[in-house]
């Protein structure tokens, strides 16, 4: 359990690609406790194509795509593709919420669905091997 605010990146060891026969993959993320940063609760959920070289601020890595979410009292959230940020401000979650993540390599997309919103990013290299990736700056999370 992460108990202090700060960047760290977490990737799944197994990656997915069209060539591995896993071109459509889904997983669920439960948004957890925000005690280490209760005024923001920032969490990045996405995919990374080079996790062995992921930095501690991996959401700005060129090989990373996904989105960041925050508590409703904060607006520092948005979409990331290849290190570029597009602020949204309305990707809000609460403790216990579930994010449904879908990687679709036939269409070259990664999407996240919440009970109140849904977002999709176009992968910059859809033929690459993509690994589920997380950056829990101010919130705990678990996979279901």
Residues 102-129: tens digit of each pLDDT: 999 999 999 999 999 999 999 999 899 9
Q: What is the dihedral of CA 100, 103, 109, 113, to 10 degrees?
A: 0
CA count, 13 A, side-chain hemisphere, 68: 30
| Distance from C-alpha of 41 to C-alpha of 35, rounded to nearest angstrom | 8
DSSP 125: -
- CA 101 to chain CA centroid, nearest Å: 8
Q: Which residue has the tokens 């997915």?
A: 16
Tens digit of each residue's pLDDT (9 = 90 or more) over 46-89:
999 988 888 778 888 889 999 999 999 999 999 999 889 999 99
* Residue 1 in this model has a pLDDT that exceeds 60: no
């Amino acid at each position: 359990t992460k108990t202090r605010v700060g960047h760290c990146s977490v990737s799944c060891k197994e990656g997915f690609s069209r060539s591995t026969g896993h071109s459509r993959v889904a997983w669920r993320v439960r948004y957890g406790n925000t005690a280490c940063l209760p005024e923001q609760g920032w969490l990045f959920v996405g995919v990374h194509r080079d996790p062995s070289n992921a930095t501690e601020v991996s959401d700005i890595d060129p090989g990373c795509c996904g989105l960041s979410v925050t508590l409703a009292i904060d607006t520092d959230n948005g979409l990331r593709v290849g290190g570029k940020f597009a602020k949204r401000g309305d990707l809000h979650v609460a403790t216990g919420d579930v994010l449904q993540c879908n990687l679709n390599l036939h269409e070259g997309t990664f999407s996240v669905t919440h009970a109140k919103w849904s977002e999709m990013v176009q992968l910059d290299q859809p033929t690459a091997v993509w690994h589920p990736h997380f950056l829990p700056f101010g919130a705990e999370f678990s996979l279901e």
